């Protein structure tokens, strides 16, 4: 049995090598690839992904899993080997359920949908995207049907990003969250607005870069095992536990963009860098889910990076970088400025307090489309109505409304809620961390992050993808994903800033 | 049959995608990879190369080739399809002849040999490398034996880099060349040396970069289809016809290093960028051989970039970049300085006139080892004796002697002569080009390279690997590879510079 396990690990190692190789191709495409290289790169990506799929869904893997099952059931259920076989079996069952021609069809649908979306958004013309989105939804409904019986038709989609999570759970969480977030935003809107004009000045790119690197280093990012490059849309990517790279982008006239992008991506990277080496080159060398991943990025970006103690420590240093821009701005004014709440039509430009409402709108639409209670042609109107209801805004056109995000054109239905779940988990962990490290604020004020990072490594990072997200959160905090800590966090923080 | 050809092309397309993907992994390793990423990268490279080998040597490819053979024999023998099948068959026969366990053994031998060579060179201790080199030679002799009958035991090694080339041909060429090069160097050594001290001053890296980019652009390098990055050992790499990248390195106190590296790599890149798009994603989308490839890099580096007309055009511009360093240096002094001939112990630091002698020494040793007329343990002594004979120098240690090059530790026996063949071919082409474009010198003086590049594209580049090197040179120049033009070129150029 040991030999069969070794054989399985060797096969999975090659699958992981292919996955990491695809990540290198993608990273290069987003950072350095010359413009005309796209066609060749498309061929390379398609070939690598095809080989990876064929290798992972091979009969050889299936047979090894089958042989190992009885043996695994006698192991400690929390052991790496038991979890590896269980996780692999789960993924194998999912991937082998989808016929090859359906996989190929999906690639064609989304390739055309992406091109159509680019044109539709540029022209703010939903009609050009509509037939493609209809095809995506139709495919996703056929995809979901492969996984009957399910509790909810949206479950199989959600499961692709949040393993084990059910639509009913997410709905319950969001229904508890929505009225409270709407009420908070309303209360804020009735108070005098904070000033953040000093953030909108020229900030030298090189200095922005250096300050970001200095902070990432202090947070614990290891430059021998990673690097930062520029990319149009910042992301973190993993080529192995010892090569986890981040990217950022710079706005010459706005401080927050690059800095909070760097802290966000550093949070993702610290997760990947902290996975137990024993799990290297296995499917367990990954985050538990996109939501848990996002909890790490949001924790470092918001709960650390947008906190008062953090800037009590770092603001004097930042002023050394930008004396003419910030010399006369008080710490209190700076802290309020970087936490300004202002409803925004665009999700990716939204603040902590309003962001989740963007997600809820998208989740409602995705569930509606899958259930059949909504149809694609009505989306522009639904979007406008709900944006007004949640944020008090009405998009002047579909480019700044239903067409703003790339995800659906790529076939990513089931993905959006992970962003909001990440926010919730981050606050839930934060309460636990502060209970375990009572002087955390003082440590952060002093620029000491090793106890915090150590806690996250111990409780979250090292486990990789051994546990499903709800199980992991339950183990660490004592309860499943719960919106209450996030609400408490928002109310306390913004109550103080806006004097509610 | 058309369907079978399409099927073969689809398979070869995937093999090429894997090859280009491996090139991306390698490029990243040499340019941007963080130090600790090496182990993960090693796994990825091994997996991609293994899959590529398995796919190319599959029975499916063999069967398609067999089925296509009779059909191909009725095609125009110069057609792309005929050449594709012939070239693929040739490579397939070679690769399938080597048993899988011998391939694996070679990987182990060279991996250990490379580590041992690094230590041996650092300590200048040949004894530490000797047993590993003996294993490499032993493996290569067993490898050659797989290809019996051959004319010469070295032929199978040479064929890996110069398809179709025979040891007897290379020996005849080099035997004609050696006495003439030795005589030239002797004559130069008896003349007053030229001054190149002005090249050894501080040259700002950013300005070196900008001037190099300006020249590469003017030579015809297309930045939409490539880019330049820094790497410790400059190289050119191809991810597809539309993504051909160059690298360079900078010495802060020496002008020639980065500049001539950039023109050299630009020459390689122009070749790859000029391959007919019809050959894309096939094994014909490659250089004809390493020697022909080197002829292109040397042509742009030396026959263009170290020529008087070139600097008659570019020297005023270079002075604008470096007025304090070169303001008082005349064009004539500059031209002579960049062409200074001085025997050097180190191959990669050698000039045009002495370089080939380094190659001849290595070729004699490689042939001797394969024939059995030399043994590994005698190499340090042989090296010293022949260096004295050819260049009048005796290495003070083996690090600057027999241990200086990486190639043998990587198992590259059969490779070195391609460097010298490239020099010879470049001069042979140059005579033909000047006959076809009588005012070429004037064009170069004016910074016009389009006629030259057009000629090379038409005669060499577009064909990719359709023709074997001797056939290609014969088609273009009317004779096989011939050392006479190179000797004429050296004698004329250095006769003028040194007043012989």
- Note the pLDDT of residue A249: 94
The Cα–Cα gap between B482 and A464 comes to 62
Whether B36 contacts chain A with CB within 8 A: yes
Is residue B100 predicted with pLDDT exceeding 90? no
Chain-chain contact of B242 with A40 (C-beta, under 8 angstroms): yes
CB nearest to B21's CB, from A25, A34, A37: A25
Confidence of residue A66 (pLDDT cuts 50, 70, 90): very high
Which residues of A fall within a CB distance of 8 Å from B222? Answer: 36
Interval B323-360: pLDDT, tens: 999 999 999 999 999 999 999 999 999 999 999 999 99
pLDDT value of position A104: 87
Instruction: Provide the pLDDT for residue B495.
Output: 97
Instruction: Tell me whether residues B25 and A21 touch, CB distance under 8 A.
Output: yes
Residue A353 confidence (pLDDT) above 90: yes
Q: Report CB contact under 8 Å: B40, A20.
A: yes
pLDDT for residue B104 = 87
- The mean pLDDT value for A137-164 works out to 97
Report the alpha-carbon distance of residue A440 to residue A455 in Å, rounded.
11
User: Out of B14, B227, B239, whose CB is closest to A47?
Assistant: B14
Are the beta carbons of A225 and B37 separated by less than 8 Å? yes
Which residue of chain A is at minimal alpha-carbon distance from B11?
A: A47
- Please say if the pLDDT value at position B193 is more than 90: yes
Q: Is pLDDT at B20 greater than 90 in this prediction?
A: yes
Whether B105 has its CB under 8 Å from any CB of chain A: the answer is no
Contacts of B224 in chain A (CB under 8 A): 34-36
Average pLDDT, chain A: 96
A281 — contact with chain B (CB < 8 Å)?
A: yes
Q: Note whether B25 contacts A24, CB cutoff 8 Å.
A: yes
Per-residue model confidence as pLDDT tens digits over A469-491: 999 999 999 999 999 999 999 99
Residue A496 has pLDDT above 90, yes or no: yes
Question: Could you say which residues from 188 to 247 on chain A have a Cβ atom under 8 Å away from some Cβ of chain B?
Answer: 222-227, 229, 239-243, 245
Torsion angle defined by CA atoms of residues A30, A33, A39 and A41, in that order, rounded to the nearest 10 degrees: -70
Q: CA–CA distance from A238 to each of A14, A17, A272, A286 (Å)?
A: 15, 11, 7, 9
A397-428: pLDDT as tens digits: 999 999 999 999 999 999 999 999 999 999 99
pLDDT at A1 over 90: no
Closest CA in chain B for residue A243: B37
pTM assigned to the model: 0.95
* List of chain A residues whose C-beta atoms are within 8 Å of the C-beta of residue B20: 40, 44
Q: Chain B partners of A39 at a C-beta cutoff of 8 Å?
A: 240, 242
Say yes or no for a CB contact (<8 Å) between B33 and A243.
Answer: yes
Spot the catalytic one: A162, A169, A265, A468: A265
pLDDT tens digits along A360-372: 999 999 999 999 9
Q: Is the peptide bond before A149 cis (omega within 30 degrees of 0)?
A: yes
Contact B37 A243 (CB under 8 A): yes
> Residue B19: its chain A contacts at CB < 8 A?
none
Q: Are A421 and A481 contacting, i.e. CB atoms less than 8 angstroms apart?
A: yes
CB contact under 8 Å between B242 and A39, yes or no, is yes
**What residues in B contact A240, CB-CB < 8 Å?**
37, 39-41, 43-44
Q: How many CB pairs under 8 A join A and B?
A: 118
Distance (Å, rounded) from C-alpha B454 to C-alpha A22? 36
Alpha helices, DSSP H only, in A164-204? 167-189
Partners of A44 on chain B (C-beta within 8 Å) are 17, 20-21, 24, 239-240
Q: Looking at the partner chain, which of A18, A28, A46 has a beta carbon nearest the beta carbon of B24?
A: A28
- Report CB contact under 8 Å: A43, B227: no
Q: 3-state SS of chain B? A: CHHHHHHHHHHHHHHHHHHHHHHHHHHHHHHCCCHHHHHHHHHHHHHHHHHHHHHHCCHHHHHHHHHHHHHHCCCCCCCHHHHHHHHHHHHHHHHHHCCHHHHHHHHHHHHHHHHHHHHHHHHCCHHHHHHHHHHHHHHHHHHHHCCCCCCCCCHHHHHCCCCCCCHHHHHHHHHHHHHHHHHHHHHHHCCCCCCCHHHCCCCCHHHHHHHHHHHHHHHCCCHHHCCEEECCCCCEEECCCCCEEEEECCCCCCHHHHHHHHHHHHHHHHHHHCCCHHHCCCCCCCCCCHHHHHHHHHHHHHHHCCCHHHHHHHHHHHHHHCHHHHCCCCHHHHHHHHCCCCCCCCHHHCCHHHHHHHHHHHHHHHHHHHHCCCCHHHHHHHHHHHHHHHHCCCCCCCCCCCCCCCHHHHCCCCCCHHHHHHHHHHHHHHHHHHHHCCCHHHHHHCCCCHHHHHHHHHHCHHHCCCCCHHHHHHHHHCCCCCCHHHHHHHHHHHHHHHCC
pLDDT at position A439: 98
Asked whether the predicted pLDDT for residue A278 surpasses 90, the reply is yes
Contact A225 B51 (CB under 8 A): no
Cβ-proximal residues to A144 (8 Å cutoff; 6+ apart), any chain: A150, A153, A154, A155, A156, A157, A370
Nearest-by-CA chain B residue for A55: B51
Between chains, do B225 and A39 touch, taking CB under 8 Å as contact?
no
Comparing CB atoms, the residue among B14, B36, B227 nearest residue A34 is B227
CA distance A219 to A447: 8
Neighbours of B290 (CB within 10 A): 21
Distance CA A110, CA A325 (A): 45
Query: Any idea which residue has 């109107």 for tokens?
Result: A381
Contact indicator for A437, A449 with CB cutoff of 8 Å: no
From A17's Cα to the closest Cα of chain B, the distance in A is 5
How does strand A244-248 pair with strand A236-238? antiparallel
Task: Using an 8 Å CB-CB cutoff, list chain B residues near A50.
Answer: 14
pLDDT tier for residue A100 given thresholds of 50, 70 and 90: confident
Number of C-beta neighbours around residue A217 at 10 A: 12
Residue A93, pLDDT > 90, answer: yes
Question: In chain B, which residues have their Cβ closer than 8 Å to the Cβ of A11?
Answer: none
Contact A34 B229 (CB under 8 A): no
Confidence grade of residue B1 (pLDDT, cut at 50, 70, 90): confident
The stretch B263-285 carries a mean pLDDT of 98
B448 to chain A, any CB pair closer than 8 A? The answer is no
Question: Which of B105, B162, B214, B265 is flagged as catalytic?
Answer: B265
Question: Do the Cβ atoms of A239 and B18 come within 8 Å?
Answer: no
- Nearest residue of chain A to residue B29 (CA atoms): A24
Query: What is the sign of the dihedral through the CA atoms of A55, A59, A62 and A63?
Result: negative
- Cβ–Cβ of B36/A223 closer than 8 Å? no
pLDDT digits (tens, 9 = 90+) for B446-455: 999 999 999 9
Q: How close, in Å, is residue B16 to chain A by CA atoms?
A: 9
Question: Which of A21, A222, A241 minimises the CB distance to B44?
Answer: A21
- The answer to whether the Cβ–Cβ distance between B34 and A239 falls below 8 Å is no
Judge whether A130 is closer than 8 Å to chain B, CB to CB.
no
Q: Which of A38, A44, A213, A280 has the highest number of chain B CBs within 10 A, making it the mutation to test binding with B?
A: A44
Q: What pLDDT sits at residue B256?
A: 96
CB B175 within 8 A of CB B164: no
Contacts of B225 in chain A (CB under 8 A): 34, 36-37
Task: Kindly report, residue by residue over A12-42, the tens digit of the pLDDT.
Answer: 999 999 999 999 999 999 999 999 999 999 9
Under an 8 A CB cutoff, do A240 and B41 touch? yes
pLDDT number for residue A85 = 97
Residue B239 with chain A: CB contacts under 8 Å:
37, 40-41, 44
Q: Looking at the complex, report in whole angstroms how far the Cα of residue A293 sits from the nearest Cα belonging to chain B.
A: 22
Task: Report the percentage of chain B scoring pLDDT > 70.
Answer: 100
Determine whether A265 is an active site residue: yes
Residue in chain B lying closest to A22 (CA): B21
> Cα Rg for chain A, rounded, in angstroms?
23
- C-alpha to C-alpha distance for A143 and A154, rounded to whole angstroms: 10
Interface confidence (ipTM) of the complex: 0.94
Closest alpha carbon to B273 in B229, B305, B238:
B238
CB-based contact A240 B24, cutoff 8 Å: no
Residues A193-251: pLDDT tens digits? 999 999 999 999 999 999 999 999 999 999 999 999 999 889 999 999 999 999 999 99
Whether the predicted pLDDT of A56 surpasses 90: yes
**Of residues B17, B223, B225, nearest to A47 (C-beta):** B17
Put simply, the answer to whether B33 touches A223 (Cβ < 8 Å) is no
Residue A167 confidence (pLDDT): 97
Dihedral-angle region of residue A335 (phi above 0 means left; psi in -120 to 50 means alpha; beta otherwise)? alpha
């Amino acid at each position: 049995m040991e030999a069969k396990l070794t054989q399985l690990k060797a096969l999975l190692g090659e699958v992981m090598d292919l996955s990491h190789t695809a990540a290198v191709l993608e990273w290069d495409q987003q950072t350095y690839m010359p413009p005309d290289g796209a066609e060749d790169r498309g061929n390379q990506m398609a070939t690598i992904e095809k080989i990876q799929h064929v290798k992972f869904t091979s009969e050889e893997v299936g047979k090894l899993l089958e042989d190992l099952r009885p043996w695994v059931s006698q192991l400690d259920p929390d052991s790496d080997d038991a979890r590896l076989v269980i996780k692999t079996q789960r993924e194998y069952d999912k991937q082998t359920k989808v016929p090859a021609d359906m996989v190929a069809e999906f690639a064609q649908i989304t390739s055309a949908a992406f091109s159509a979306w680019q044109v539709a958004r540029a022209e703010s013309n939903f009609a050009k995207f509509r037939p493609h989105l209809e095809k995506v939804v139709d495919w996703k409904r056929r995809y979901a049907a492969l996984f009957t019986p399910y509790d909810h038709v949206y479950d199989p989609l959600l499961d692709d990003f949040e393993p084990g999570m059910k639509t009913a759970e997410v709905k319950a969480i969001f229904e508890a969250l929505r009225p409270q977030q709407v009420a908070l935003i309303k209360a804020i809107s009735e108070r005098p607005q904070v000033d953040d004009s000093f953030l909108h000045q020229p900030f030298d790119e090189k200095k922005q870069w250096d300050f970001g690197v200095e902070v990432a280093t202090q947070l614990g990012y290891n430059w021998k095992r990673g690097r930062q490059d520029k990319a149009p849309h910042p992301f973190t990517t993993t080529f192995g536990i010892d090569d986890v790279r981040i990217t950022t982008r710079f706005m010459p006239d706005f401080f927050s963009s690059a800095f909070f992008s760097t802290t966000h991506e550093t949070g993702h990277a610290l997760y990947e860098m902290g996975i137990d080496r024993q799990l290297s080159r296995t499917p367990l060398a990954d985050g538990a889910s996109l939501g848990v991943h996002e909890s790490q990025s949001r924790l470092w970006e918001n709960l650390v990076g947008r906190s008062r103690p953090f800037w009590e420590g770092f603001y004097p240093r930042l002023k050394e970088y930008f004396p003419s821009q910030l010399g006369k701005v008080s710490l209190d004014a700076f802290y309020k400025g970087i936490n300004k709440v202002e409803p925004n039509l665009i999700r990716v430009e939204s603040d902590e307090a309003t962001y989740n409402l963007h997600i809820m709108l998208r989740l409602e639409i995705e569930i509606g489309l899958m259930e059949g209670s909504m149809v694609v042609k009505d989306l522009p109107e639904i979007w406008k109505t709900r944006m007004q209801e949640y944020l008090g805004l009405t998009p002047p056109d579909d480019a700044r409304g239903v067409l703003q995000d790339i995800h659906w054109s790529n076939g990513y239905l089931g993905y959006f809620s992970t962003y909001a779940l990440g926010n919730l988990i981050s606050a839930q962990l934060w309460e636990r961390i502060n209970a375990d490290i009572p002087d955390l604020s003082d440590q952060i004020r002093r620029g000491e992050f090793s106890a915090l990072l150590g806690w996250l490594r111990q409780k979250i990072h090292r486990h990789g993808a051994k546990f499903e997200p709800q199980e992991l959160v339950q183990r660490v905090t004592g309860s499943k994903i719960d919106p209450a800590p996030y609400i408490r966090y928002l109310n306390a923080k913004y109550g103080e800033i806006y004097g509610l």
